[in-house]
Amino acid sequence: MLTGLDHLVVTVTDISRAVDFYTRVLGLEARYQEAERVDLMLGDTALRLHQTDTESSPKAAHPTPGSIDLCVRSVLPLKEVQAHLETLQVPIEEGPVPRRGVQGPITSLYLRDPDGNLIEICRPDRG
């Protein structure tokens, strides 16, 4: 019945600050729908940013900035990702650490976006 995820809404306090983080730090492409709604492209899926003070409807019953825990896969080795984050002075909260992904063992780095959402960047372990 279902084939995948089209978009995931991320509630933020400041759209421009969030767009800067997700484009500059994570390299996502921003596609503007309107001033209070921006899609950040992650392959064929979008992280759709909604600002807390918008009248968008329908929405979650209690949209809260900083409540997402998101794991994204990297095509780059995590050492390169880590060097990129260090260059941008983005603190790494934890990692690299071994974890279990949907398709098997992964290694992950953890950081936070400007609203405190937990972002896990993983890379599948090659056996």
Structural contact between residues 51 and 34, judged by C-beta atoms closer than 8 angstroms: no
**What is the torsional sign of CA 69, 92, 40, 3?**
negative
How far separated are the first and last CA of the chain, in Å rounded? 33
List, by residue number, the catalytic residues.
120
Using alpha carbons, select from 76, 80, 78, 53 the residue that is nearest to residue 64. Answer: 53
